[in-house]
Each structure stands twice: as structure tokens, then as C-alpha cells.
Amino acid sequence: MSDFTIGRANAAVPVRSSSDLYRAVWRWHFYAGLLVLPFLISLALTGALYLFRDELDAIIHSDLKQVEVRDDAARVAPSAMVAAALATYPGTVAKYTDAATADSSTEITVSTEASGKLAVYVNPYDGKVLGSLPDRGTIMWTIRYLHSLKYFGSYARALIEIAAGWSILLVATGIYLWWPRSQTGGVMSIRGTPKRRVFWRDTHAVSGIFVGFFIVFLAVTGMPWSGVWGEKVNEWANGNNFGYPAGVYVGVPMSSEHLNSIAKTSWSLEQAQVPQSPAKDGTEAIGLDAAVATIEGLGLSRGYSVTIPTTADSVYTGSVYPDDVSQQRVVHLDQYSGKPLIDMHYADYGPMGKALEWGINVHMGQEFGLANQLVLLAACMAIVLLAVSAGIMWWKRRPKGSLGVPPMPSDRRVFRGLIALLALGGMVFPLVGMSFVVMLVLDRLYPLFRRAIRFAPPAAGG
């Protein structure tokens, strides 16, 4: 009898251990979903729209961004287009942006006293001003700011960083829960109908296993834009707040200004310092037309931008960030001689910079053209399906009057491995680590809170 009892007890240990581990993983998968799924829906919807930013802006703002192609007409000189923009919108010109395609308008950025900074659109064939918008005032810039929560301040942007970390945890725990054990359905197939809970469980599991890779990829490649981790890693990756790698010649006078403060730039060059034009008393600047001719002669891709010097020692900066990441380039010209002071190619980036820029380009749907856009669009729609199916599944299974948190493991020691993994993630992403600690504390307090409500005496007169 005792042998039989001992045998039963020994057999129960691995069973109970496996069950406890499953409960622990399920519990934290639930918490990750609770925190992340609303963000995932927002990020997926705004991200899906932003993938087609050029196409949508060309339709929505066609009166400003689209022009009739004139094969037999020479383009108007850049200085003439700037003069036309300033005649209509008096102010100071800040940037000239070349028309990226034959049917695109040229964009002149003008700082005005009355309306602030404006993007003025000019027909490059006849120099006619088509109209203006506030700088970065297109519909797609609005979508981009919604995607990054930039509209809601730095604290809201920190939530994106936290959500990215929890998304990775969501996928890792989801794979463990999905992993086939004895079931045959709900692994690669969906059982039942929408009226049944198993249909939503299987829809969630199957869509999750297919889209998990994309969630992790988008979370990791989105991290460089985060307010805390991204900024600190940017400074570290850019060589102690300098920017240019050692292989790029920088033996020229440098200003204290960063490239990101004067022009839109790549993540890897945000901290790059801008060189100065050596002072030449009595010498006139070469002018925008000569600067544009030099930049085009150096081979920058169409759609480049040229920032205009604002002081006696500033430079012309030509920059372009096309769909093909290998064609990214930044050139600084001496405003008096037109000589290139720094000519920075994608090939000059360090290994980390190249990897991050490539990831960002793919994240934005640029690197592989239409295929890139369509694959990520499908991933975004699958993420929405994943989130919606999770919400419906939770609603159907939760006990009435309860949040439906999965049960606590009977052996709390199974949490040790999970906590070790969370600590490791927290060291890599400190803000995410802090959120893990908060959730651990809340997880410990939740049962006490439920018991306090359950045994609270009824109010007098109730």
C-alpha cells in the first residue's frame, strides 16, 4: 500500500510542476495582453495607414503635391521657386526639397511671422505657387504622430517603449501556451463557429503564431524611436554624442549644432554635429542654384532636401533618405566655395547603425517596395484580429463579476524562472523593467484586494 502511495506521489510531482508552470505563464500572458493589446490595435491601424503615406498624401493633397508632367519644359531654377514662395508667403527660407518624381511638386520650407513654419508647394515646371500647409501638416504626418503618441507628450511616448517590451513577453508566453502537447485542433486549424469560445481561442492561437515574428520585429525596430531607451542608445551608438564614425573625415571646424536640429535625418545621425564654413571676409555665398547643382553632381537621389545657411559660418546641407536604405546620404557644403566638407554615406555607418537603419526602413515599409508594404499590411491586420479575438475570448470565459485573471500556481517557486527572464529584459530596457516590478507588486496585492472586497461588511442601511 505504501509503495503504491509513494508511486502516486512521485508521479504527481512533475504533473503538478507542469501545471503550475503553465498557470504562471498563462497568468503573465494575460497581464501582458491586458497592457499591450489596446496599444497594438492603435499601432497596427495607424501603422497600416502610414505604410502608404506617399500614395495617400498624393491623393489627399493632390492639389499641392501633384503636377502635370511637361516633357518639353525645362525646370525652373531653385532660386526662382524660392523667390516665388517668398513673394506669396513672406518670411525666411529654411529648406528646399527637390521633387522626388516627374509628377511631384517642389517643397519650400518658409519661416513666417504670422503663420509659423510653412511647407510651400511650387510647380517645378513653371514656378507657380500651388499653396501651403503647416510644416509637417499633411494627413500622414498626423498619422505618424498618432502612431508614436507624440501628440500626447513625452510621458505618453514612454508608454510605447513599455508596450514594446511587454509585446515581446506577450509573444514568448504565447508561444509556450500554443505549443502542441496533446491537442490536435487549435494548432494550425480553427475549430467551431464564432458562437463558440473554442473558435475564438483557436483564432487567437493560430493568428498569434503566424504574426508573433512580426510583433517582435516591429517592437525591436520601433525601439530606436522610444523616448528613453532610444535616446540613450542613440547617444552611445553615435560615439559619445558626436555622430560620425571614425572612417569619415571630420578634420574641419565643427559647430555645436546637431544635424537633427536643422533637418530631418536618420536615427543614426541625429547626434551628428554640423560643420562650419570657414570664414571668408568679403566673399559671397555660392547661392542655392550652385549648391543644388553641386549636390546633384555628387549623385544624391531625387527627393533630396537642401537646408539654407542662416549664419556667416553655417553650411548648405543636402540630405536624402530614399526607400533603398543603401542610398541614404548627407553632404555638407562650404557656403562660400561649394566644397564638400563632410560626405556621409550609409556605407560609412557602423554595424549597429546599419542594422538599425535597415530595420527602421523595413519597419516603415520602404526597403522592399510594394511587397514590403503588403506584407506589413497583412501583419497589421492580423495583429488587429489577434487583439480582437483575445478580447472576445476573455469576455466569454471570464467569471461574472470578475476580471478573469488566470489562477495563481500552487507552487510559487515556478515564478523564479519567469522573474529571472523579466530581470534580464529589465536590464536591457530599464523602463520596461520598472513596469515589470510594478506588475509583480500588483500581482501580489491582487488576491489581498479581492479578499478584502469579498469579506467587507455591507454598508449600513444597505
* 452-459: long-range pairs with CB below 8 Å, 24+: none
Task: Report the candidate in 260, 255, 39 with the shortest Cα–Cα distance to residue 162.
Answer: 39
Question: Considering the domain boundaries, does residue 434 fall inside one?
Answer: yes
Q: Mark whether 324 and 266 lie in a shared domain.
A: yes
pLDDT for position 128? 97
Query: Is residue 61 included in any domain, yes or no?
Result: no
Same domain flag for 128 and 163: no
Tell me whether residue 321 is in a domain: yes
Model pTM score = 0.86
Domain membership flag for residue 336: yes
**Among 98, 116, 137, which residue terminates a domain?**
137
Question: Which of 348, 383, 412 is the last residue in one of the domains?
Answer: 348
Residue 257 lies in a domain: yes
Domain CATH number, residue 105: 3.10.450.40
Q: Are residues 116 and 156 in the same domain?
A: no
Same domain, 46 and 151: yes
- Residue 199, domain extent: 2-51+147-225+372-454
| Residue 358 included in any domain | no
**Which uninterrupted H or E stretch holds 240?**
none
Q: Which of 313, 348, 383 is the last residue of a domain?
A: 348
Let me know whether 128 and 159 are in one domain: no
How far apart CA 42 and CA 216 sit, in angstroms, is 16
In a structure prediction context, what are the per-residue pLDDT tens digits for the chain, which is 462 residues long? 333 333 333 444 444 556 888 888 888 899 899 889 989 999 999 999 999 999 999 999 999 999 999 876 778 999 999 999 999 999 999 999 999 999 999 999 999 998 999 999 999 999 999 999 999 999 999 999 999 888 887 777 788 888 888 999 899 999 988 888 777 767 788 888 888 888 988 899 899 999 999 999 999 998 887 767 777 777 776 655 456 665 576 778 888 888 888 888 888 888 888 999 987 777 889 999 999 999 999 999 999 999 999 899 999 999 999 999 999 999 999 999 999 999 989 998 888 888 889 999 999 999 999 999 999 999 999 999 999 999 998 888 877 767 778 887 777 777 777 777 778 777 777 888 888 888 888 887 866 666 665 555 555 554
Count of structural domains, the chain: 3
Residue 166: inside a domain: yes
Q: Are residues 326 and 251 in the same domain?
A: yes
Q: Which residues pair with 116 in a beta bridge?
A: 112
Q: Is residue 57 part of a domain?
A: no
Query: What angle in degrees, to the nearest 10, is found between the helix axes of 2-50 and 430-454?
Result: 120
Domain shared by 330 and 443, yes or no: no
Say yes or no: 299 and 343 in one domain: yes
Q: In terms of domains, do 205 and 313 share one?
A: no
What are the C-alpha distances in Å from 47 to residues 149, 337, 360? 12, 43, 13
Same-domain status, 152 and 132? no
The helix/strand count (H/E) of the chain reads as 13, 10
47 and 180 co-located in one domain: yes
Cα 10 to Cα 7, 143, 257, 413: the distances in Å are 5, 58, 69, 18
Closest C-alpha to 387, from 204, 187, 176: 204
Give the span between the Cα atoms of 225 and 148, in whole angstroms: 8
Same domain (yes/no): 160, 88:
no
Q: Which of 442, 443, 445, 423 is nearest to 434 (CA)?
A: 423
β-partners of residue 318 are 306, 331
